[in-house]
């Protein structure tokens, strides 16, 4: 498993890197890879997302080949793009999504933030009620059983841009960050390091080759 951190990188440039790696993993010429990065401000929307969830007509969201609806990326949000060969790991997309949620719930716990899944809504939320707020979004694409896109975890992100959309297609959806929940700044480097340490082990436990 390769793990690379690209830092702050343009969305389209990162997408081209994903495309190259997906093709290589499918052909057996590249190893599975976890890409960690941040994006400059951008809105994206999944292939089946609804335009009415973009509340500000001034927004141009990039429509991409992943599941889910509209979301926002910006500095202070840790984005993970796992390029994983599910063809050799049981071809279970549902289990893969639960793996990503479980990983992020554990990461939140490392910073003493209690988080959970919500039935029927992919992603990770703070817990318990009435504190429910979205901490991380998940949206994946699959080509020839190789995954792309992935997760975005709000670490120190300015949350104001989420007010201009229905995040993940959920009206009036509260959104939060690790720093906000912790009451102090969480370092992106620390979060990235923990994810890099945990990812491969948890993947092999839940989706072994």
Q: Which residues does the annotation mark as catalytic?
A: 168
**Other C-beta atoms lying within 10 Å of the C-beta of residue 27:** 10
**Phi–psi pair at 176, nearest 5 degrees:** -140, 180
DSSP 8-state assignment for residue 112: T
116, β-bridge pairs = 125
137, β-bridge pairs = 152
The radius of gyration computed from the CA coordinates of the chain, to the nearest angstrom, equals 16
- Angstrom distance (rounded) from CA 12 to CA 16: 6
**DSSP string of 133-191, one letter each residue:** -EEEEEEEEEETTEEEEEEEEESS---GGGGGB-GGG-TT--B--HHHHHTSPPPHHHH
- Angstrom distance (rounded) from CA 174 to CA 63: 23
């Amino acid at each position: 498993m390769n793990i690379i951190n690209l830092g702050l990188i343009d969305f389209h440039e990162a997408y081209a890197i994903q495309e190259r790696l997906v093709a290589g993993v499918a052909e057996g010429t590249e190893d599975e890879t976890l890409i960690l990065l941040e994006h400059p401000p951008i809105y994206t929307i999944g292939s089946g997302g609804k335009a009415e969830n973009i509340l500000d007509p001034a927004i141009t969201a990039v429509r991409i080949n992943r599941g889910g609806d509209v979301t926002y990326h910006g500095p202070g949000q840790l984005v993970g793009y796992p390029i994983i060969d599910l063809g050799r790991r049981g071809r279970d997309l549902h289990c893969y999504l639960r793996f990503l949620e479980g990983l992020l719930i554990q990461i939140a716990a490392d910073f003493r933030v209690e988080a959970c899944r919500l039935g029927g809504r992919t992603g990770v939320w703070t817990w318990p009620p009435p504190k429910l707020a979205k901490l991380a979004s998940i949206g994946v694409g699959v080509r020839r059983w190789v995954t792309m896109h992935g997760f975005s975890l709000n670490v120190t992100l300015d949350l104001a841009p989420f007010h201009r959309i229905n995040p993940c297609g959920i009206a009036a959806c509260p959104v939060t960050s690790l720093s906000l929940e912790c009451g102090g700044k969480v370092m992106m480097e620390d979060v990235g390091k923990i994810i890099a340490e945990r990812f491969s082990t948890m993947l092999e436990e839940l989706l072994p080759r």
